[in-house]
Amino acid sequence: MSSIAAPADAARRAPKRAIPGFGPTLGFTVFYLSVLVLIPLAGVFFRASGLGLEGLWNVLTGPRVLNALSLSFGAAFIAALINAVFGGVVAWVFVRYEFPGKRLLDAVIDLPFALPTAVAGIALTALYAPNGWIGELLTPLGIKVAYTRLGIIVALTFIGLPFVVRTVEPVLREVERDLEEAAATLGAMRWHTITRVILPAVLPALVTGFALSFARGVGEYGSVIFIAGNFPNVTEIAPLLITIKLDEYDYRGATAIAAAMLVISFVLLLVINLLQAWARRRA
Amino acid sequence: MTDISATAPLDPARLPFEPLMQRNAVISEAPWVRRTLIGVAILFLAGFLLLPLLSVFAAALGKGLGAYFASFNSADTQSAIRLTLIAAGIAVPANLVFGLCAAWAITKFEFRGKQFLITLIDLPFSVSPVVAGLIYILIFGAQGWAGPWFSAHDIKVVFAVPGIVLATIFVTFPFIARELIPLMQELGTDDEQAALSLGASGWQTFWHVTLPNVKWGLLYGVLLCNARAMGEFGAVSVVSGHIRGLTNTMPLHIEILYNDYQFVPAFAVASLLALLALVTLAAKSVLEWRFADQLAATRRH
C-alpha cells in the first residue's frame, strides 16, 4: 500500500502530519475521559481528604470495615490462585491438544465476561444451595458452600477464569517448540522441559492473568452478594459495605472505603502494567 | 523432519506441523497425562461455566412454559426491560463515538503521554462497580457538589434515568476503544495516507477507508460493550434507588424478584440476559473464526 506514488506537488504540499483530525479527536477523547471518569474519581479522593487522616484511619480500622476488606482481598486472592492453576491447565489443553467439543468450550470460556453478574450470582446460588444440583452432593459430605466464605470464592473463581486463560493462551502458542526439542535432545525429561523451558516463558502471562483476576475479584459485587449470605464480619464483602453505608446516609464511611479500594486497585493496575512491560521485554 | 520435507518440499501450507508434533514423543506427554489434563479442563469448565448457565434455564422453565411466559406479563418487568434498552441504547453509541475518536487520535498520530492515556482509558476496568456508582452520588447526590444546583433546576440525576445512564457509560467505557486501538495500530496509516494523497477528504477517508478496515473489530467491541451495558448490576444498583417501574433495570429487577422468593420470574428475566450472553458469545466466536485476520491479534479480552 505504501508504494502508491503520490503526485510530486501533492507530496510537496503534504506536511508531516498529513492525516487530519488530531485536534478534535484528541480533544474530545480527553474531554469525555475527564468529565466521565477522571473528575468523578478525583472527587472520591477530594471527599476522602476532607475526612482527614485520623477520620480515614478511624473508618478503615473499624472491625467491620477491616473484616470486609480482608475478606474481599483474601477471597479474591484464593480465587485468583485457583484460576492461575486451572486456567493454566485449560490454556495448555486448548493450545496443545485436540479433543471433541474443543471449539464449543473455547467459546464458553468468555461466558463470565458476557453473562451479567447478577445472573451468575443467582445461578451459582441455586446450584450450591443445600437443595441445588451441586449442594445436594456436598451437603452429605458436610461441605457448605452457599452463604459461606467458600461460596464467595466460588463466585470469584467464576468471574476471574477467562482473564487467566485468555492471557496465557497466546503466549503459550508462541513458545518455540524448537526449544522444547532442543531440551529433549539434550536429554531433559519431559517434566524438566515443562518446568525449566515452558513455565519460565509463560510465567509473566500467568502472573498477569492472576493479577487481572485478583483485581476483578476485589471489586466484584453482583455475583457475590447472592451466594455470600452477607453476614456482617463473616461474609460481608467491602463493596457491599459501601452500599450499606450509603443506604444509612453514611457518606463519609462509604467514601473512605471507596478511596482505600481505589488506591489498592490503582497499585494493582500499576503492577499489571509493569508485568506486561516485563512480559514484552522477555518476548 | 526429513521425510516431511521430501514429500512436500514446496508447499508450506500442507506441512502437517501439528500431527507431526503430536507423534513426536520427546516433546509431548504420555497419553495418560494428556487424557488426565483434558479431563480436568473439561470437568472444570463444565462445572464452573456450563452448569451455572444450564441452571438458569432449568430454573426458569422449572414450572413449565406457561409460568415462564407469564413472568413477562408484569408491568414492572416490562418497564425494567424498557429501561435496560434505553440505558444501553444511550451508553453504547456514546462509547462508540468516544472509542472511534480515541482510537483515531492514538493510532494515527504520535504524541507524548500516549501510553498514559491508554492506561487512563482502561481505568474503569479496575474500579469496583459499586465505587463507579458512588462517584456519581458524590457529585449529583443531595449532599454532592452539583446536587443542590440540579435539584434547584428540578433535574434529577441520581435515583433517576440519567444516573443509570452515566453509571452504565462508566463501566462500559473502555470496551470499544480497547478493541479498536490495537487493531488500528496494527493496520498503520498507509491506507489513509494513500486515500488522502489521492484527494479524499478527512471524512471520506474515515468513512470509506478506515471504517471498512476495522468494521469487524468494531462490531466485536460493540457486542461486548452492549452485553456489559445491559447486564451491569453493581454500579447501576448504587445510583438507581430501586424504584420499581421507574428506575429498575433488568439485573436490578432480578434481584428484587429473587429476594421476594419469586424464583420463576427471577430466573425468567435472568434467562433473557443469559440468552443475550449466548448470542454475544456466538457472534464473537463466528467473528473470530471467519475474520481472525481482521481482528487485532493482541487482544486480552
CA distances from B191 to A129, A231, B108, B195 (A): 57, 59, 11, 6
Q: Of A269, A261, A167, A161, which is closest to residue A221 (Cα–Cα)? A: A261
Least confident of B1-15, B37-51, B178-192: B1-15
- Select from A1, A19, A72, A193 the residue whose CB has the most chain B CBs within 10 Å, as the one to mutate to test that interface: A19
Decide which of B12 and B138 is more confident: B138
Q: What is the phi/psi pair of residue A134, to 5°?
A: -90, -35
- B241 Rama sector, left if φ>0, alpha if ψ -120 to 50, beta otherwise: left
Q: Which of B51, B251, B299 sits opposite A222 (nearest CB)?
A: B251
The average pLDDT across B179-190 equals: 88
CB distance A181 to A47 below 8 Å? no
**Contact assignment for A116 to B232 by CB distance below 8 Å:** yes
Task: State pTM to two decimals.
Answer: 0.86
Looking at A97-220, list the stretches that DSSP marks H as alpha helix, in order from N- to C-terminal side.
102-108, 111-114, 117-128, 135-138, 149-174, 177-185, 190-193, 199-219
**Mind listing the pLDDT tens digit for each residue in B153-170?**
888 888 889 999 999 999
**Mind listing the pLDDT tens digit for each residue in B247-298?**
889 999 999 999 999 999 999 999 999 999 999 999 988 888 887 766 655 4
pLDDT band for position B104 (cuts 50, 70, 90)? very high
Q: Is the pLDDT of residue B85 over 60?
A: yes
- Select from A119, A255, A266 the residue whose CB has the most chain B CBs within 10 Å, as the one to mutate to test that interface: A119
Residue A269, amino acid: L
Q: What pLDDT is attached to residue B246?
A: 79
Q: What pLDDT is attached to residue B29?
A: 76
Half-sphere exposure of A136 (CA within 13 A, CB side): 5
CB distance B250 to B276 below 8 Å? no
pLDDT band for position B27 (cuts 50, 70, 90)? low
**Contact assignment for B197 to A10 by CB distance below 8 Å:** yes
Question: Is residue B78 within 8 angstroms of chain A, CB to CB?
Answer: no
Q: What pLDDT is attached to residue A107?
A: 87
For CA atoms B47, B53, B56, B62, the dihedral sign is: negative
Chain B residues within 8 A of A255 when measuring between CB atoms: 134, 138
In chain B, the percentage of residues whose pLDDT exceeds 70 is 88
Q: What pLDDT is attached to residue B294?
A: 67
- Select from B126, B210, B225 the residue whose CB has the most chain A CBs within 10 Å, as the one to mutate to test that interface: B126
CA distances from A116 to A60, A84, A162 (A): 30, 23, 14
Half-sphere exposure of A12 (CA within 13 A, CB side): 3
Euclidean distance between CA atoms B285 and A121, whole angstroms: 25
**Contact assignment for B139 to A43 by CB distance below 8 Å:** yes
Q: What pLDDT is attached to residue A279?
A: 75
Q: Is the pLDDT of residue B4 over 50?
A: no
Decide which of B301 and B63 is more confident: B63
**Contact assignment for B285 to A126 by CB distance below 8 Å:** no
Question: Is residue A50 within 8 angstroms of chain B, CB to CB?
Answer: no
Q: What pLDDT is attached to residue B26?
A: 59
Q: Is the pLDDT of residue B299 over 70?
A: no
Residues of chain A with pLDDT under 50: 1-16
Q: What pLDDT is attached to residue B25?
A: 56
Helix (H, G, I), strand (E, B) or coil at B120: helix
Q: What pLDDT is attached to residue B11?
A: 47
